[in-house]
Chain A
Amino acid sequence: MAELHIIGQLQSASDFNDPNSLFCRYSFQTGPNWTLISGFSEGQTASGKENFKNSVEWVHPLDLHYVCKGIQGWPKIILQVSCLDSIGRSWVVGYGCCALPSTPGYHTIKVPCWVPAATTVTERLKQYFIGGGHELTQTDIINLGSDRFKLITQSRGEIKLNICIVLRNLTQFGVEYK
């Protein structure tokens, strides 16, 4: 059985320019050929405010172990950055998606984030003074390309991932990844 280890950390978010604290929910998504043996495919980081470099450091550990019986559906990570204001309200300030590297070794990945934009002046004023924002009702859009062109989004910051990929037994099945 071929195996994949994902070891690393959800390092930081930068350039979100949000005065509130930021935290990130993450989820690993795979195809039907993949089975998670150990680790958690979903999780949430701690919340933190941006430092003087406009960066929130989470350093949230990731450790997952997958077995697979086919290459189709290589794991992807889906990220959802939310803010937490001073009175305990939270809303989404960024969505992001990234396919995980297929070569073994250490990788630094920067995932650009976006959020559905306010399309009217009223909404914009409301978001500026009251807070809140639009959220996706169907989160499949984050990782699927279809129907995404209908969205008007606002670009937000980037999330930095430091990940080590360890592959095992894939070459037995004729897989070339390097």
Chain B
Amino acid sequence: MHEFKKHNKTMGVYWLKQYLKDTLICIKLKSREEIITLPNFEEYKDKSYEEHLHVLDKNKISEYTFKWQEKVFSSYELQKYSDAYNCSSETEIKYHDMIKDTNVKSNKVFTYIDEDYHLPLPIAEKGNYKPYGVLNLKNCFAKLHLGDMNDNVSHSMGHLFKSQDHISDNDQWMAMHIVLDNSEYNEESQILFKQEFNLLSLYHNVTHNYLMVSPDVNNLELKPYSVEDGDNILPMEYGVEINFEEKENGEDLKHLLNNLFKKWDKKQQQLLNFVMPRLGMKNVFVTFEIVSAFGFEMDNLYIDFQIKIPDDITVKGDLKGRTHVSKSSRREDKKFWGYGHVVELELEYATGMDLNPLKIILETISVDWWGRHRTEGYSCLTLSLEPGEHRHDLSCSRSEELDKVEAESRRFFVGGCHLIKDLDVLINPQLYEAKFRYVSTGSVAVRWRVVCQRRRAHADVHAHTQPHAHAQSLLAGAEAVLRHYKKAKATLAAATECLPTQLEQ
């Protein structure tokens, strides 16, 4: 009966989250623990105390750490590649340069990298399988005659077969082997007997970015692997550890989250920095503009304005003023006076209060050749504080005496207008006894713009900004950014991998 070889080595497959160059592979090697034999007196009588201790150190665990595709030389390789006459291929010349340029030392546990072509790749291995071997999946699938049932294969099965074909045909692989050198050398480091034990084989599928580890990662204490090669078994055990450098990933994420927090904080500060009205108050910004006047009799006109506000409103801005004196120009056979006088008001009042509209009294006054001022017309505007744009042509009228001759004489010789002493009569004419009449004169064009601002409820403000949804989208974006960053970093590393070598050359 055929005797199966007993071993506990299994293969592991790892899907890589980041570039493999950052991965650390650690081999822990120790002597196999056997039944402790009692020491003989003869063995130790000629040895010193320190040598006794050295014997005890046999159980010490040796650690060997390698990076992906890091070349470590054995004594044999070091001797071989040191001599330039032994180096013919490009790889051998490269190793010769490495040994020559840097102080490279040999190691008991060394590596064969992809360029060494030490062992066949998984694709080639498939070709070595026996045609009817159980492991030859391709043959198994061929036996199923799947090609004959194209239409009957379900979608999911078809995808499976397709992926199998894909793996076997077009994949690119990189290999690395970690080997224990058990060769015997003479005193001049010349090899007498070459014996190497393959401890670990790593195959990286570049196409799909996964790593096959043979044997898989283990625990040295609980499940040690024995150092063996075919029929030879060494009294040693080893363990495999692979560190995929998750730490860096975490650091990147931490850095990214810090940046996100800064951005978020800045956004919140921007929200808070906006000048808002006081709590419970509403601000109204009014830009009132006296645009022009037309249709008046006399020239050299200016407009005096007074703004009457209710008592419960706080106002910033000029409530009284006058425009510049303007000489007319003719437009469409009418006299026209341009002003473009802008008055800005900032009103503040309590929210929920019924606001009485503002009243603006405009008095158009002319200046004659002698410098006398004559009122050409009064106008009263009820200023609407509805947000938006407003425009109005205000018709003006002036008061004059009931006797027309007296009125014209006074106007021509004296000027001025003594009939209205309190301009409130224009706002509430019914409250005053009128001893004069009004004569309509011209018009004044005005426009005003109103913008209101009030402090909204906290929730309302945030309903617009949607910070929660925004945070989720930011985090989702951050993950995407992190993925792209990793991908770009791996691409950059792959692109610059051979750059130092080229520079050296």
Contact = CB atoms under 8 A, between A and B. Distances in A.
A153 B325 contact: yes
Given A69-B274, A146-B318, A149-B322, A114 B453 contact: no
Interface in A90-133: 96-99, 101-103, 107, 110-114, 117
Given A15-B331, A175-B452, A145 B387 contact: no
A70 B326 CA distance: 35
A17 B331 CA distance: 10
Nearest to B336: A155
Nearest to B346: A72
Given A98-B289, A151-B324, A33 B275 contact: yes
Interface stretch (A5-13, A58-66, A166-174): A166-174
Contact of B327 (A17, A98, A153): A153
A177 B451 CA distance: 5
B82 interface: no
Interface stretch (B12-20, B21-29, B337-345): B337-345
Contact of A113 (B289, B324, B338): B338
B287 interface: yes
A86 B273 CA distance: 53
Contacts of A107: 389
A155 B331 CA distance: 11
B67 to A, nearest CB: 48
Contact of A98 (B329, B340, B452): B340
A152 B283 CA distance: 36
Contacts of A117: 327
Given A112-B291, A173-B274, A178-B388, A145 B342 contact: yes
Interface of A: 1-2, 15, 17, 33, 69-72, 74, 76, 96-99, 101-103, 107, 110-114, 117, 143, 145-146, 148-158, 171-178
Interface string B424-451: 0000000000000000000000000111
B387 A174 contact: no
Contacts of A2: 274
A103 B270 contact: no
B454 interface: yes
Interface of B: 270-271, 273-277, 283, 285, 287, 289, 291-292, 300, 302, 318, 321-329, 331, 336-344, 346, 387-389, 449-456, 461, 464-465
Contact of B389 (A103, A149, A153, A176): A103
A87 B293 CA distance: 36
A111 B274 contact: no
B323 A149 contact: yes
A71 B461 CA distance: 17
Given A71-B283, A102-B388, 4 more contacts: A112-B291, A143-B342, A146-B321, A177-B452
A112 B274 contact: no
A90 B323 CA distance: 27
A161 to B, nearest CB: 12
Secondary structure type dominating chain B contacts? strand
Nearest to A105: B389
Contacts of B277: 174
Contacts of B302: 149
Per CB-CB distance, the 9 closest pairs between chain A and chain B, nearest first, are: A112-B338, A70-B275, A151-B324, A155-B338, A99-B287, A155-B329, A176-B452, A149-B322, A174-B456
Contact of B321 (A112, A145, A155, A157): A145
A145 B318 contact: yes
B465 A71 contact: no
Contacts of B324: 114, 148-153
B451 A175 contact: yes
A173 B276 contact: yes
7 contacts: A71-B451, A143-B342, A145-B342, A149-B322, A151-B325, A173-B461, A174-B454
A99 B389 contact: no
Contacts of B274: 1-2, 69-70, 173
A149 B338 contact: no
Contacts of B465: 172
Contact of B287 (A15, A74, A157): A74
A97 to B, nearest CB: 5
A175 B454 CA distance: 7
Contacts of A157: 329
B285 A174 contact: no
A152 B325 contact: yes
